[in-house]
Structure 1
Amino acid sequence: MSSSVRSTRSARAVLGASVLALTLLGTSACGPDNSSADTAAAAGAPALGLPANLDDLKKWKFEDWEKWAKDYALPAATKGFWTLEKLLQAKPNEPIEPPAPQPAGTQAPAQPSAPGPSTPAAGSKPPAGQPTQPGHPTTPAAATTPAAPKPSNTQQPASQAPAPPKQPAQQPSQAPAQPTQAPAQPSQPAQPPAQPGQPPAQPPAQPADNGNDPLPKTVNAQPLQHPYTKLAVHGKLFADEPGAGAAGGGLGRSQCSATVVADPAHPGKSNLVWTAGHCVHQGKGGSFYSNISFIPAFNSNAAMSGGKQADESQYAPFGIWGATQAVTSPQWKAEGGKTGDAATHYDFAVIRVKPADGAKSLEETVGGAVPVWFNAPRDQLSVTEYGYPAAPPFDGMELNRCESGKPGRLSYEPTRPPMLVIGCTMTGGSSGGGWLAVKDGKPALVSNVSVGKHTGDPMYQAGPYLDDVAAGAYDFLSKKG
């Protein structure tokens, strides 16, 4: 994949806004309390219930989420379902790909850009492959500078600070398709009418740069040292995707990454896990996966490292936890797909797992859970990503991290909060992996892997900015337990 995605984003933003407008017009009368949603469900269409104005979604209360999320209850995987054979069959669930580059002659010329304050200087390039052997410290250090990459023989000195060769322009004036103002919003009539004697309400201002920063520099993923006792909040998520293959009778087995998060309604006894929406739900026109199960601290003692075989007690030291509830964003269920677009701005999910009868909660079992930091100030974030990358050059057996520092912005739809974007070489299987930042001296989850580009230079990943929509879904599932 080419790194010149920004000019493509501009054209896709216009298209995405148009598609979104049509979607919203089609559902403008189908809010949580509207009977037409139930009529659609009776006819076999999904009752998505998106309000005409997406800002209204941020105001949904528990009752609104309950009326919309009618399919949150999941049949738990049968005990013993995930055998070693099935786990090894699971394919890495790839981070969603950025849009394909435009045909030659349609892209804006590249513009040089200086490196950000938390990225390595230009003029260096990381090695293409990554080690998968243990031997690195376990203590997170998000502000620590990653190991120096090998110098490239083809790039210019750092003092010239050129952008990657194919990095698209940042200046709208050189890309005719890139709007400088928000596209026309068919949903604006849903805004409250202006008060007498006051000017009519105006749509929110669109960023002049369409919500995009220069792409981050590549940061090399590093494997964590075994055992993962102090990192047991991170683990692997396995699921069966309907209609994706012949394995298991028309089910395609997949693997992602996920993180144990705190449960406000059950402090100290959480059974909640955070991951990506595309790890548990197919998106537009689809449904939830089946047999969703979480293995915290997978392969903690290296029993499966180097191609070795092991029994469940060795590769799943804290057990295998089947999901019984799940919720993702209305945007992902209504619009989600395989390519980066407006839906990926809300590509997150929360699941609830079930402990064995009479057993301790997941949080008590693994020794902790991380809080979720909603509406986190972007300029205060220094991100460390955790995950189990499984596509080459990784094998899915080692917990890795990227100490990526301050995230930039990436946007496929400028009317939605820009995603967070960081440099990281993790590959398929890292989808859903938690992004942690320090809040009040302790780690908190601020995003998860959604979009990823793991070829060429730069290699990067993007995750949703967790705003009030994410907080509403989280609060709903917390209270349903």
Structure 2
Amino acid sequence: MRSSSTHGRSRRRGRVPTAAGGLVAALVLTVTGCGGPGDGGADARAGGGVSRPGAGSGLPGEIADRLREHGVDLDRWKDGGWKDWDREDWLREAQDYVNPVIEGLWGPERMRSAREADKRVTTLDTGADRGVSDPEPAPVEAEPEKTPYHAHAAPVGKVFFDSPEGSMVCSGTVVKDAARPGRSNLVWTAGHCVHAGAGGGWYRNIAFVPSYNDLGASEARLAGATTARIAPYGTWWADWASTSNQWIEGGASTGGDGAAHDYAVLHVTPEQGARSLEETVGAALDIDFSAPSATQVAAMGAWGYPAAPPYNGLRMFKCLDRPGRLSLGPSLPTMYRIGCTMTGGSSGGGWFRVVDGETRLVSNTSIGPVTAGWLAGPRLGPEAEQMYRSMSGAHGDG
């Protein structure tokens, strides 16, 4: 999730504006109002790489046939065949996505051992040839979220997945589904948390755990913890996934040209149970696709589960700051950038702002420096909205 910066530090900015306090208050009000425990349609021109469904523990016949063309035997896959990362056969195209439920795979110890999904570069020149960038923000110390998390930030959770390098972790946010009010099964995260980008393919065993470690227990107190304790609202498997074609074609281990489009949406299904994700956690956030300029926004907040030192991925943190602009290239969209000390593992975590008195998701964590002083996230405009609309209503929740 990280990139690195070697350019000089900017002068420190003033205190976070009072609007940030309102951001937190609005978030709390948003998440405590409820109880607790076809074809994707978007194509390369629209910038959407929408998968076809791999629902439940099986797949529709058409998709199963397509996977057989790639030499994938589903029974063997669920019995451990997913561990074969032959680069020639790594499923890359949107229609090739497969993520059948393997019940019990994500147990407490496996979740705790998952490493952060990093995005790093050795240098980041934000000079005039790179486009428009504001001075590097001063670091903002990440604050731990209050517990229990479901009472203060219910839409936030962790995204787990397997990559050729091992088990990885990101963060994610429950978002509303316009086609299914009150019954959303959609999760917003980063593109690099679901797909490796150029030269790679879809990650495997992608799952979302809302309010992970709800009480913020320490590692010592979680020794021998049951899945129900560390994942009190269940484990939700991504039977559909979508990210931008810009990420699929231009994403890289350093973020690459795809960083400005480093976003994804998951449609999830519970490992057990039948209620929707939104009904289960009691909350979901609207998405702001207006892509406001950083100069128009008084404050943004980033939430997530940082896992790289000095954090261990067990607790939820947040940062509040006035956003600035970051350009990775003159032809690429400007990204948001805020001061924040969260590290890898917070990738994909939602960025929120208050619009007309309501908290809305406006971005997600994509890249940041190795020194953990700031985070950057994409602006969500028409291409992101089309990707979302293609997922909303395209699945058969009933």
TM-score of the pair, normalised by structure 2: 0.74
User: In the superposition, relative to structure 1, how do residues 80 and 218 fare at CA in structure 2: closer, same or farther (>3 Å)?
Assistant: same
Q: 1:97 aligns with which of 106, 113, 120?
A: 120
8 Å CA contact 1:233, 1:297 repeated in 2: yes
Q: 1:421–1:101: structure 2 CA closer, same or farther, 3 Å change rule?
A: closer
- Which residue number corresponds to residue 400 of structure 1? 317
One-letter amino acid of the counterpart of residue 439, structure 1: V
1:4 paired with 2:2, answer: no
Note if 1:255 corresponds to 2:172: no
SS in 1 for 2:393: helix
8 Å contact kept, 2:348–2:364: yes
In the other structure, the counterpart of 1:448 is 364
Shift of 1:365: 0.5
2:67 maps to none
Equivalent residue number for residue 143 of structure 2? 222
Q: What are the within-5 Å matches in structure 2 for residues 154-173 of structure 1?
A: 172=128
Q: 1:98 & 1:266 partners in 2: Cα distance?
A: 40
Shift of 1:71: 2.2
Cα distance change on mapping 1:477 and 1:69 into 2, 3 Å? farther
Q: Is residue 2:204 matched to residue 1:300?
A: no
- Secondary structure in 1 aligned to 2:391? helix
TM-fit CA distance, 1:380: 2.8
Q: Which amino acid aligns with 1:321?
A: W
AA of the residue aligned to 1:297: S
Give the one of 103, 106, 117 matched to 1:82. Answer: 106
1:319 corresponds to? 234
Give the CA deviation at 1:75.
2.3
What is the distance in 2 between the residues matched to 1:224 and 1:89? 22
1:386 aligned to which of 292, 295, 303:
303
Match of 2:183 in 1: 269
SS at match of 1:254: strand
Cα displacement string for residues 141-171 of structure 1 (whole angstroms, at most 9, x for unaligned residues): xxxxxxxxxxxxxxxxxxxxxxxxxxx7x5x
Question: Residues 145 and 316 of structure 2 are in contact (CA less than 8 Å); yes or no, is this contact kept in structure 1?
Answer: yes
Residue matched to 1:278: 192
Q: TM-score, normalised by structure 1?
A: 0.62
Q: Which residue of 1 aligns with 2:284?
A: 369
Q: Does structure 1 conserve the Cα–Cα contact (< 8 Å) formed by 2:237 and 2:271? A: no
| 1:306 shift after superposition | 4.4
8 A contact 1:435–1:448 mirrored in 2: yes
Q: Distance in 2 between matches of 1:352 and 1:401?
A: 25
Give per-residue Cα distances to partners, 1:310-359, cap 9 Å, x unaligned. Answer: 11111111011111000000000011101143210000000010135662
Q: When the two structures are aligned, how many residues end up with a matched partner?
A: 317
Aligned ranges 1:108-147 → 2 under 5 Å: none
Asked if 2 retains the 8 angstrom alpha-carbon contact of 1:237 and 1:292, the reply is yes
Conserved? CA contact 1:260–1:363, under 8 Å: yes
- From 235, 247, 272, the counterpart of 2:157: 235
What residue is the counterpart of 1:348 in the other structure? 263
Per-residue Cα deviation, 1:417-465 (whole angstroms, up to 9, x for no partner): 2011111000111110100000111110011111111417xx1110111
The range that moved more, 268-277 or 380-389, is 380-389
Q: Residue 431 and residue 357 in structure 1: after superposition, are their counterparts in 2 closer, same or farther (change >3 A)?
A: closer
1:468 alignment partner in structure 2: 382
Partner of 2:66: none
Q: Is the 8 A contact 1:296 1:319 kept in 2?
A: yes
Separation in 2 of the partners of 1:430 and 1:240? 17
Match of 1:288 in 2: 202
Q: Report the CA distance shift for 1:312/1:98 in structure 2 as closer, same or farther (over 3 A).
A: same
Higher mean C-alpha displacement, 317-326 vs 295-304: 295-304
1:277/1:5 CA distance change after superposition, 3 Å: farther
Query: CA 1:381–1:304 in 2, change beyond 3 Å: closer, same or farther?
Result: same
SS in 1 for 2:310: coil
Question: Residue 304 of structure 1: CA displacement?
Answer: 4.6
Correspondence for 2:134 = 213
Alpha-carbon distance change, 50 to 476 in structure 1, aligned in 2, over 3 angstroms: closer
Which whole-Å CA distance do the structure 2 matches of 1:430 and 1:280 have between them? 14
> What does residue 328 of structure 1 align with?
243
Tell me which of 271, 275, 286 is aligned to 1:360: 275
Query: Which shows bigger deviation, 306-315 or 291-300?
Result: 306-315
* 1:62-88 per-position Cα deviation (integer Å, ceiling 9, x unaligned): 9xxxxx974275323311111122112
Identify the residue that residue 425 of structure 1 maps to in structure 2.
341
Q: Does the CA-based 8 Å contact 1:77-1:290 persist in structure 2?
A: no
Contact conserved, 2:108 with 2:230, CA < 8 A, in 1?
A: no
Residues 350 and 303 (structure 1), Cα distance of their counterparts in 2 relative to 1, 3 Å cut = same
Instruction: Measure the CA separation in 2 of the matches of 1:220 and 1:426.
Output: 8
Secondary structure, aligned partner of 2:183: coil
Q: Distance in 1 between matches of 2:297 and 2:254?
A: 29
* Per-residue CA distance 1:178-202 (angstroms, 9 max, x = gap): 38xxxxxxxxxxxxxxxxxxxxxxx
Q: Taking structure 1 as reference, are residues 333 and 101 closer, same or farther at Cα in structure 2, changes over 3 Å only?
A: closer
Kept in 2, the 8 Å contact 1:238–1:254? The answer is: yes
- The answer to whether the 8 A contact 2:217-2:314 is kept is no
The CA RMSD measured in Å over matched residues stands at 2.7
Measure, in 2, the Cα distance between the counterparts of 1:311 and 1:223.
Answer: 23
1:478 aligns to 2:395 (yes or no)? no
- Residues 72, 326 of structure 1: 8 Å contact kept: no
Q: Considering only CA atoms, is the larger Rg found in Structure 1 or Structure 2?
A: 1
Change (3 A) 1:467 1:260: same
Alpha-carbon deviations, 1:360-385, whole Å to 9, x = none? 10001101100110023221351110
Q: Is this contact kept in 2: 1:385–1:435, CA < 8 A?
A: yes
Code of the aligned partner of 1:370: L
Residue 452 of structure 1 aligns to a residue in which SS? Answer: coil
CA distance in 1 between counterparts of 2:108 and 2:214 reads 16
Change in 2 beyond 3 A, CA 1:341/1:401? same
